[in-house]
A = this chain, B = another copy of it.
Amino acid sequence: MRFSAFISGPVAARPAGTHHDIVISSRVRLARNVKAHPFPGWARKADRLAVLEVVKPAVEALPQMEDAFSEYLQDLSATEKQILVERHLISREHAAKSGGSAVVMNREQTLSIMINEEDHLRMQAIQPGFQLKTVFKSIDEVDTRLEEKLDYAFSEKLGYLTACLTNVGTGMRASAMLHLPALVLDDKVNQVIQAVNKIGLAVRGLYGEGSEAMGNLFQISNQTTLGEREEDILGRLNKVIEQIIEHELNARAALLQRKTVTLLDQVGRAFGILRHAHSITSKEALNLLSFIRLGIDLGSFPTGHRQQIDDLFTETQPAHLQRTSPTKLQAEDRDALRAETIRRKLADLPAPEPPRAAS
């Protein structure tokens, strides 16, 4: 499949699971390595190519990867790789790689396997909504099939061996992307982050490690991979996320009761600016779209517009904008194109109604 055909598919499938208003997406990734080959960071080019030669056909042969998009990184442009990053299909680290690395993704963009990232294999499943267990199940099936064909580096005592110690054991990182505008507005999100950190979970921004929190989006993930079964890690993570959802819902109820004007003001301003600005940065766009999404959750806008807003979270990212332009965009042109894209897409969004408590 060619990149353009692959990428012009839908940005994301419809969300599922409970609380998909607050949980944007669920993701699980597994780190695996092939025995008797040095880890990619230590490997010489010949070693990396040898791994590619074994792993890529094995991945392509998976029934889950029928009609897949499979490409060596050197055959993708910088913009194409960046588009995959913006869709959370490959890591920023992988996008910086070229010769000796590859990526294989299914047509639905729910399964993505990076070859020769930090480990020989980084395989992830991602789905919109709150459904960590379903997502784990789908990547676990991929892993089981691959294990039949590939000789994984595995220790009876430690579990799966990985390039970085923080992944040894299950090699699993499970995460959910949460939309927490009310906790941010109510100045309580830092309290929540601290509590989550204390129990050994990590809180990151929209684009993972080291990225800034934008659009009131926070990624919650497990830190530990050793000494705990996958099911236990997922169970613990699920429980904490359910608690955070509870906090966000309480904060929304409190805002509705005590700060109706603040809420209506934020939603109204977001609407006014997105509908009439002619230049807008990526960060501002995310922050304003976040308040439109909150407005949808609180009945200020018809729910039919939620998918449109979620799509805009991705479509207003730099590489996605670059893709629609025949010439190389400077930051200034990109901000103008971003504003134009948003104005066009939101042309039929009606002015906000006063928010109301969920029925």
* A→B interface (CB under 8 Å): 261-262, 264-265, 268-269, 271-279, 332, 336, 339, 351-352
Contacts and interface: CB of A to CB of B under 8 A. Distances in A.
Nearest to A273: B272
Contacts of A261: 278-279, 332, 336
Contacts of A278: 261, 264-265, 268
Contact of A268 (B269, B271, B277, B352): B277
B268 A351 contact: no
A262 B332 CA distance: 10
Nearest to A262: B279
Contact of A269 (B262, B273, B332, B336): B273
Contacts of A271: 272, 276
A295 to B, nearest CB: 11
Chain A interface mostly helix, strand, loop or mixed?
helix
Contact of A273 (B262, B273, B351): B273
Closest 10 CB pairs of A and B: A272-B272, A272-B276, A268-B276, A265-B278, A265-B279, A264-B278, A272-B273, A261-B336, A269-B277, A271-B276
Contacts of A264: 278
A229 B262 CA distance: 55
A278 B261 CA distance: 6
6 contacts: A262-B279, A265-B339, A269-B277, A271-B276, A272-B273, A272-B274
Contacts of A351: 276
A348 to B, nearest CB: 14
A218 to B, nearest CB: 26
A351 B271 CA distance: 14
Nearest to A333: B261
A279 B262 CA distance: 7
A217 B227 CA distance: 67
Contacts of A275: 272
A289 to B, nearest CB: 14
Contacts of A274: 272
Nearest to A339: B265
